[in-house]
Amino acid sequence: MFNTLPKHLTGTLLLAGVLSGCTLAPTYVRPEAPVAGSYPAAAEGKAQLDAVELGWREFFPDQRLQALIASALENNRDLRTAALNIEEARAQYGITAADALPNFNGNFSRTRGRTASDQLVPGQPAVGTAYAVGLNMTAFELDFFGRVRSLKDAALATYLATEEAKQSAQISLISQVAQAYLTEQSYAEQQRLAQQTLDSRLDDYKLDKMRFEVGASSALDLRNSETLVQSARVSLATLVRQREQATNALVLLVGKPLGDLPAPQSLSDEKIVTDIPAGLPSDLLNRRPDIRQAEQQLRSANANIGAARAAFFPTISLTAGIGNSSTSLGSLFSAGSRTWSFVPQLTLPIFEGGRNRANLSLSEIRKNLAIANYEKTIQSAFREVSDALVARGTLEEQLAAQDAFLKAQEERVKLTDLRYKNGIASSTDRLNAQRDLFSAQQSLIQTRQLRLNNAIDLYRSLGGGLNENTVTTKS
Quick: pLDDT tens for 214-242: 888 888 888 988 999 999 999 999 999 99
Higher pLDDT, 70 or 218: 70
Q: How far apart are the first and last CA of the chain?
A: 67
Instruction: Tell me the C-alpha distance between 277 and 43, whole Å.
Output: 6
Instruction: Tell me the C-alpha distance between 27 and 16, whole Å.
Output: 22
pLDDT band at residue 118 under the 50/70/90 scheme:
low
Task: Quote the crossing angle between the two packed helices 355-421 and 289-310, to the nearest 10°.
Answer: 170
What is the CATH number that goes with domain 24-103+144-313+355-461?
Answer: 1.20.1600.10
Task: Quote the crossing angle between the two packed helices 147-213 and 427-461, to the nearest 10°.
Answer: 160
| pTM to 2 decimal places | 0.82
- Per-residue H/E/C for 83-98: HHHHHHHHHHHHHHHH
Mean model confidence pLDDT for the chain: 85
pLDDT band at residue 168 under the 50/70/90 scheme:
very high
Residues pairing with 134 in the sheet: 107, 323
The 10 Å Cβ neighbour count of residue 213 is 10
Task: Give the per-residue pLDDT at 42.
Answer: 53
Percent of the chain with pLDDT over 90: 43
Task: Give residue-wise pLDDT tens across range 445-469.
Answer: 999 999 999 989 999 998 989 988 8
Task: Give the per-residue pLDDT at 53.
Answer: 84
Percent of the chain with pLDDT over 70: 88
CB 67 within 8 A of CB 73: no
Map out the domains of the chain as residue ranges.
24-103+144-313+355-461
Instruction: Tell me the C-alpha distance between 227 and 221, whole Å.
Output: 10
Higher pLDDT, 45 or 67: 67
Flag whether pLDDT at 440 surpasses 60: yes
Flag whether pLDDT at 110 surpasses 60: yes
C-alpha distances (whole Å) from 19 to each of 102, 216, 345 are 15, 104, 17
Sign (positive or negative) of CA dihedral 447, 453, 455, 457: negative
